[in-house]
Amino acid sequence: MKHIFSILLWLGMATWAYSQEKRTISGYIKDASNGESLIGVSVYVREIGNGTVTNDYGYYALNLPTGVSYTLVFNYIGYEKVEKKVTLTDDLKLSIELKDESVKLQEVIVKTTKEDENVKNIEMSVNKVEMKTIRQMPALLGEVDLVRSIQLLPGVTSVGEGASGFNVRGGNIDQNLVLLDEAPVFNASHLFGFFSVFNPDAVKDVKLVKGGIPAQYGGRISSILDVRLKEGNAKKREINGGIGTIFSRLSYEQPFAKSKGSFIVAGRRSYIDVLAKPFLNGDLKNSRFYFYDLTAKANYRIDDKNTVFASGYFGRDVFGADFGFEWGNRTATVRWNHVFNNKLFMNATAFYSDYDYGLESDRNNKNKSGDKFKWNSSITTWSMKPDFTYYLTPNNTVTFGGQYINYSTKPGTATAISSGEERNISLDPRYADESALYIGNDQKVTDWLSFQYGIRYSYFRNLGPGTAYEFLEVVKGDRKLPVSEKKYESGVINTYGNWEPRFSTKIELNPSTSIKASYNRTAQYLHLLSNTAASSPLDVWTLSSKIIKPQLADQVALGWFQNFQENMYEASLEVYYKKLQNQIDYVANSDLLLNSYLEGDLLFGNGRAYGAEVYVKKNRGKLTGWLSYTLARTERKIEGINNDNWFPARFDKTHNLSTVVLYQLNDRLSFSANFAFNTGTPATFPTNRFEWGGWTLPQNVDNSRNAARIPSYHRLDLGATLKSKKKLFGKGQGEWVLSIYNVYNRRNPFSMYVRQNEDNNLKTEAVRYAVIGSVVPAITYNFKF
Amino acid sequence: MKKNTLHTFLTYTTLAFLTVSTLTSCEDVVDLDVKSGAPQLVVDGWVTNQQTSQTIRLTESAGYFDNSQAKPVLNATVTVTDDKGGVFSFVDLKKDGNYVWKPVAVSDTIGRVGRTYTLRIKMGTEEYTAVSKLNRVPKIDSVTYFFDKLPIAPADDAPQEGYTAEFFARDPTGAGDCYWIKSYKNGKYFNKTTEITIAYDAAFSPGANSDGLRFILPIRRAISPEFYKEKDTVKVELYSIPLEGYYFLNQVRTESSNQGLFATAPSNIYSNVKNTNPTGRKALGFFGAAAVSTFTEVIDAKKAKPKDGN
């Protein structure tokens, strides 16, 4: 470790030592309309043919020789370009506000900017989708949904429609670090996966990192979905709202303290239960079925050097009548941005995040001698995380920092009462912590060559009190039997440590073409155990232990990045290969809930994923959108499954094509369309049948897994947005959004399975199951003041 | 406990789904082309402590979509021995694969609690064996019922209102007792795989810590997959089954209705029948020993309990 740090520092210092006297230009870049800081804005210095981009807080810094005049060009997709001429004599603060370009959309703007993120930025395997775009895309039931939109990007699949989560480059859904203002969200779904928990009215920026993961990120091995909330309009009060088929929404933003601060509060709630109430009688009278979420954020700029942010999320799904089931996430984040000096920027984050669910039977039974069942499960984390950016030279930006995460999980706290006798059937809580240190450097070697390299060391400890079990394998692939257990009252039960090297490079062949390559290793100590096709809210996040080793991934990626027609079009072709270790699978009949000997039901093995991704995006003009195509293979090799041979994962899709087209007809009317085509997901079918107990049961003589496939999936969605002509109450704006999901009414299969006929046990049949089996039209009304 | 809880929760969710959205999930029976494999021996039989004849059925497995009755295995030699020297021969009287042992005297039974039974099947050069221990079973104390009505009519033509029956029995102290609860309405066995009810101690699974309790409510009421009417006969059979039998039936239920968003990866159903030649052709099915308690009750409106009367 020491060596690597000194090499990193040395590389940086070497360039520094030879430099002349320098001063720094730094500042924040914001949206002129609402004061939101802008992430990833290109800041280009024409005279030196080089530049930087703003960080996650809209901050940039450039260290340049003094006594020279510079032209700074600020450029960001969807915003007007700004040029500033400066003569550098001393440190300079230069904060800029960029104007939204769509205001003058009617003019066809042809830009002659040389710089472009797709080609110039060292980032690869990263997809950003503007919220503006997500809003315009046709959505299921008219509900703008971030996770559904993510699934139209290259390299992203899911087990099927309606399933929660998403799979990135062959990773399971628990291998995505889903961050909401830096706090991890453990279950990003409402209604079992149909909608994600992110309120589109409160989200500013979404970034999906699939590869070339920088050293500051860790904890999950496949991807980072970094969702940043709006800071709230810093210029004026703003109210947004809408009524859709599922949710009604309202958000409120306002500046305070003379625009030194601002906040946003946004809420959503499903409302069908309110409408249905008068029609429910009998046992259904006490029915509860609703879900809601509340998102809030505030920021306050103390002075030029200090800004603080606080944000939080609270959401819940509640179902049932006499039998109740509910679940939800809570997150809270506090951040402090501090500029130590012109070169050193710090963001310190503290967050809290939890997820819990509860089931309860016989809720209406108040009789003490009666029968009842109550069950809760939860995971709670808190973390401290300082991150530093050191703008060493224009060519070297060093990032370093660390993180401490504390976990406590209650896998199951349950009581059962049978005829008045109560039993506690709870599992022991589990405790652990994870620490990490990292350092990295972004180095521009020449105009055309850049490196980003770094290393992260993560260290995990299982903490007492707790019990460590040992198991004996009787038959390979079958349940392992517990043979011993050791109780720990306190102290450290078990530890793991992993070095996680990260490396990326960019070679610019010409101003519109670059080649990028990356390698990263990632480690994961927290696993979502789920033996079902789609993950259910009951699945339990489980910590690594002596038995459950940390999941590791090594990924290499290589890409060609090309822009056409003055950056009107950007395109990329990437290939990747990923190797996964310590992947988890399950014995037949595995029992993952309320089972002390759960670890005996787990199987372990390796995974591999490889593929090619093509992405073509049109950035400007009346017609915008993208086309994405992925050719991929995702496989697992688990001891005891598929005769120990490689088999395709449940979400493996050979071909995955998506297109998104947005067309702005005029100021008021726009249209949109999505089309998706996927190869059918793998399935296991029986070869034979046998009769037992009067039933006809399936059997696969080859004992194979996922050897067949269900039919392919394809779907077209259309949408239209019409802005109202009249101002709403004199000042506001209203719009109608029409969306049609699954336009040609295809019954796309989620799965295929076999069964015996309901009326005749001797007859066996195959069944195709579609989650959404028809066209789904919807209309939404949105307003803004 | 959780299997049923899960089931209930899925039912409610489905209800929520239907109401919440216009989403229409659907199932269509379709053609599927699968390659079939070589047939294997299938063993289906129990020996019990009941004073009746006992049957062990031997058949062959067939291609999955071969929609005909399974082919019987004929000319096998079938014997069951116990660990106290008892030997019982099973004979295929009708040449239909049903190998039967008949009691000579009325009081004759094979099964005795605590004994271990070994099944031996000789077919030509191959020999198969299966071992099962006959465990204790508690008696059923009573069957009660109350009048109930569903808020919405059930999808199949099942009645919307009627009597829900429940049986009362207590799991004996000592963890690890497994049961199979079979129920009959007017002599008709509830034979759907979704109606399989098994218990581990007094609840659904080993993690439930339910040793020594009265069977929990969802198990007690599992004998009413649909409503009973006045004068209907309710019959309950409580089988004590070995742990392997519990896992076998659990898997039968899972694999025969493994569908929807929360389906698990299909896997082959466990069998306790072994070929004495480890490299020989494997067998399918299950042979078990069980003690059985039964209880029969005729529904009489006057004796019905109030709902939630506990």
User: How confident is the model over A752-773, as pLDDT tens digits?
Assistant: 999 998 888 889 999 999 988 8
> Is the Cβ of A193 closer than 8 Å to some Cβ of chain B?
yes
Task: Select from B5, B21, B31 the Cβ nearest to the Cβ of A373.
Answer: B5
List domains and CATH numbers for chain A: 2-115 (2.60.40.1120), 126-784 (2.40.170.20)
Asked if A695 lies within 8 A of B20 by C-beta distance, the reply is no
User: What contacts B170, CB < 8 A, 6 or more positions away?
Assistant: B138, B141, B202, B212, B213, B214, B215
Indicate the range of A73-77, A101-105, A169-173 predicted with least confidence: A101-105
Distances (CA, A) of A620 to A45, A54, A123, A493, A564: 24, 22, 22, 57, 12
Neighboring chain A residues of B19 at a CB cutoff of 8 Å:
272-273, 276, 289
Q: Give me the mean pLDDT over the B145-165 stretch.
A: 82
Asked if A776 lies within 8 A of B22 by C-beta distance, the reply is yes
- What's residue B9's pLDDT? 46
Asked if A416 lies within 8 A of B285 by C-beta distance, the reply is no
Higher per-residue confidence, A32 vs A16: A32
- What's residue B274's pLDDT? 96
Confidence of residue A130 (pLDDT cuts 50, 70, 90): confident
Contact A533, A523 (CB under 8 A): no
Neighboring chain B residues of A320 at a CB cutoff of 8 Å:
9, 12
Confidence of residue A320 (pLDDT cuts 50, 70, 90): confident
pLDDT surpassing 90 at residue A704: yes
Neighboring chain A residues of B70 at a CB cutoff of 8 Å:
690-691
Q: Give me the mean pLDDT over the A330-349 stretch.
A: 92
Task: Select from B25, B149, B210 the Cβ nearest to the Cβ of A772.
Answer: B25
Q: A96-98 and A22-31 as β-strands: parallel, antiparallel, unpaired?
A: parallel
Query: Quick one: closest CA in A to B211, which residue?
Result: A423
Confidence of residue A241 (pLDDT cuts 50, 70, 90): very high
Radius of gyration of chain A from its Cα atoms, rounded to whole angstroms: 27
Neighbours of A606 (CB within 10 A): 16
Q: Give me the mean pLDDT over the B65-89 stretch.
A: 93
Asked if B261 lies within 8 A of A756 by C-beta distance, the reply is no
Structure tokens at B189: 């066995």
pLDDT surpassing 60 at residue A93: yes
Indicate the range of A341-350, A370-379, B147-156 predicted with least confidence: B147-156
Asked if B210 lies within 8 A of A418 by C-beta distance, the reply is yes
Confidence of residue A109 (pLDDT cuts 50, 70, 90): very low
Confidence of residue A475 (pLDDT cuts 50, 70, 90): confident
Contact A376, A355 (CB under 8 A): no
Task: Select from A423, A694, A776 the Cβ nearest to the Cβ of B209.
Answer: A423
Neighboring chain B residues of A193 at a CB cutoff of 8 Å:
261
Structure tokens at A529: 């155990």
Q: How far is B69 from chain A (nearest CA, A)?
A: 7
Q: Give me the mean pLDDT over the A597-603 stretch.
A: 94
- What's residue B259's pLDDT? 84
- What's residue A20's pLDDT? 60
Query: Quick one: closest CA in B to A322, which residue?
Result: B12
pLDDT surpassing 70 at residue A113: no
Determine phi and psi for B218, rounding to 5 degrees. Answer: -60, -30
Indicate the range of A32-36, A369-373, A692-696 predicted with least confidence: A369-373
User: What contacts A107, CB < 8 A, 6 or more positions away?
Assistant: none
Asked if A590 lies within 8 A of B308 by C-beta distance, the reply is no
pLDDT surpassing 80 at residue B284: yes
The hierarchical CATH code for the domain B136-254+292-303 is: 2.60.40
pLDDT surpassing 90 at residue A24: no
Query: Quick one: closest CA in A to B45, which residue?
Result: A693
Question: Which residues between 634 and 663 in chain A have a beta carbon less than 8 angstroms from any beta carbon of chain B?
Answer: 650
pLDDT surpassing 50 at residue B86: yes
- What's residue B2's pLDDT? 38
- What's residue A43's pLDDT? 87
For an interface test with A, give the residue of B156, B261, B267 to mutate (most A CBs within 10 A): B261
**Strand order, beta sheet including A688-692:** A695-699, A688-692, B62-63
In which residue are the tokens 């009421």 written?
Answer: B221
The strand pairing partners of B81, in sequence order, are B87, B118
- What's residue B23's pLDDT? 53
Confidence of residue A283 (pLDDT cuts 50, 70, 90): low
What is the SS3 assignment for A597?
A: coil
- What's residue A258's pLDDT? 87
Q: Give me the mean pLDDT over the A32-48 stretch.
A: 84
The hierarchical CATH code for the domain B41-134+271-288 is: 2.60.40
Contact B291, B113 (CB under 8 A): yes
Indicate the range of A39-43, A325-329, B165-169, B275-279 predicted with least confidence: A39-43
Question: Which residues between 119 and 158 in chain A have a beta carbon less than 8 angstroms from any beta carbon of chain B?
Answer: 141
Confidence of residue A256 (pLDDT cuts 50, 70, 90): very high
Identify the CA nearest to A197 among candidates A274, A268, A271: A268
For an interface test with B, give the residue of A690, A739, A756, A764 to mutate (most B CBs within 10 A): A690
Q: Give me the mean pLDDT over the B29-49 stretch.
A: 94
- Residue B3 is classified by DSSP as H
User: What contacts A511, CB < 8 A, 6 or more positions away?
Assistant: A114, A119
Mean pLDDT taken over chain A: 89
Higher per-residue confidence, A581 vs A14: A581
Determine phi and psi for A330, rounding to 5 degrees. Answer: -135, 135
Q: Give me the mean pLDDT over the A400-429 stretch.
A: 91
User: How confident is the model over A322-336, as pLDDT tens digits?
Assistant: 788 899 999 999 999
Handedness of CA A212, A213, A215, A218 (dihedral sign): negative
Confidence of residue B24 (pLDDT cuts 50, 70, 90): low
Confidence of residue A3 (pLDDT cuts 50, 70, 90): low
Structure tokens at B196: 């399989």
Task: Select from B44, B254, B256 the Cβ nearest to the Cβ of A755.
Answer: B256
Asked if B191 lies within 8 A of A694 by C-beta distance, the reply is yes
Neighboring chain B residues of A769 at a CB cutoff of 8 Å:
25-27, 259-260
User: How confident is the model over A508-543, as pLDDT tens digits?
Assistant: 998 889 999 999 999 999 999 999 988 889 999 999
pLDDT surpassing 70 at residue A217: yes
Task: Select from B63, B65, B269 the Cβ nearest to the Cβ of A697.
Answer: B269
- What's residue A368's pLDDT? 60
Q: Which long-range contacts (CB under 8 A, 24 or more apart) does A104-109 make?
A: A105/A622, A105/A664, A105/A667, A106/A667, A108/A621, A109/A620
Q: What is the pTM of this model?
A: 0.89
- What's residue A328's pLDDT? 95
| Euclidean distance between the first and the last CA atom of chain B, given in angstroms as a whole number | 19
- What's residue A743's pLDDT? 95
- What's residue A102's pLDDT? 57
H-type alpha helices, A405-544: none
- What's residue B6's pLDDT? 44
Determine phi and psi for A347, rounding to 5 degrees. Answer: -125, 120
Neighbours of A631 (CB within 10 A): 17
User: How confident is the model over A710-767, as pLDDT tens digits?
Assistant: 999 999 999 999 998 877 777 888 999 999 999 999 999 999 999 998 888 889 999 9
Altogether, the residues listed in chain A come to a count of 785
Q: How far is B242 from chain A (nearest CA, A)?
A: 16
pLDDT surpassing 80 at residue A15: no
The kind and range of the H/E element at A139 are none
Q: Give me the mean pLDDT over the B90-112 stretch.
A: 89
Question: Which residues between 247 and 286 in chain A have a beta carbon less than 8 angstroms from any beta carbon of chain B?
Answer: 270, 272-273, 276, 280-284
Domains B41-134+271-288 and B136-254+292-303 equal at CATH topology level: yes
For an interface test with B, give the residue of A642, A689, A747, A748 to mutate (most B CBs within 10 A): A689
Task: Select from A370, A427, A690 the Cβ nearest to the Cβ of B61.
Answer: A690
- What's residue A742's pLDDT? 93
pLDDT surpassing 90 at residue A492: yes
> Is the Cβ of A527 closer than 8 Å to some Cβ of chain B?
no
For an interface test with A, give the residue of B262, B273, B284 to mutate (most A CBs within 10 A): B262
Contact A326, A360 (CB under 8 A): no
Structure tokens at A462: 């299982």
Tell me the C-alpha distance between A561 and A518, whole Å. Answer: 14
Asked if A701 lies within 8 A of B260 by C-beta distance, the reply is no
| Euclidean distance between the first and the last CA atom of chain A, given in angstroms as a whole number | 55
- The letter for the amino acid at B223 is I
Sequence ranges of the domains in chain B? 41-134+271-288, 136-254+292-303
ipTM > 0.90?
A: yes
Asked if B34 lies within 8 A of A747 by C-beta distance, the reply is no
Tell me the C-alpha distance between A278 and A150, whole Å. Answer: 38
Tell me the C-alpha distance between A542 and A411, whole Å. Answer: 8
> Is the Cβ of A325 closer than 8 Å to some Cβ of chain B?
yes
For an interface test with A, give the residue of B4, B14, B20, B282 to mutate (most A CBs within 10 A): B20
Indicate the range of B55-69, B139-153, B265-279 predicted with least confidence: B139-153
What is the SS3 assignment for A651?
A: coil
Asked if A688 lies within 8 A of B37 by C-beta distance, the reply is yes
For an interface test with B, give the residue of A601, A603, A685, A699 to mutate (most B CBs within 10 A): A699
pLDDT surpassing 70 at residue B14: no
Distances (CA, A) of A332 to A165, A183, A385, A427, A676: 21, 7, 14, 27, 36
Tell me the C-alpha distance between A748 and A763, whole Å. Answer: 25
pLDDT surpassing 70 at residue A374: yes
Dihedral angle over CA of B243, B245, B248, B250, nearest 10: -70
Burial class (CB in 10 A: 0-12, 13-18, 19+), A517: middle
Neighbours of B89 (CB within 10 A): 11
- The letter for the amino acid at A747 is R
Query: Quick one: closest CA in A to B283, which residue?
Result: A690
Radius of gyration of chain B from its Cα atoms, rounded to whole angstroms: 21
Higher per-residue confidence, A11 vs A465: A465
* Alpha carbons within 13 A on the beta-carbon side of A730: 0
User: What contacts A513, CB < 8 A, 6 or more positions away?
Assistant: A119, A560, A561, A562, A563
Confidence of residue B210 (pLDDT cuts 50, 70, 90): confident
Neighbours of A727 (CB within 10 A): 11
Asked if B12 lies within 8 A of A162 by C-beta distance, the reply is no
* 3-class SS letters over B214-273: ECCHHHHHHHCCCCECCCCEEEEEEEEECHHHHHHHHHHHHHHCCCCCCCECCCCCCCCC
pLDDT surpassing 70 at residue B182: yes
Q: How far is A738 from chain B (nearest CA, A)?
A: 16
Widest CA span of chain A, in angstroms?
A: 93
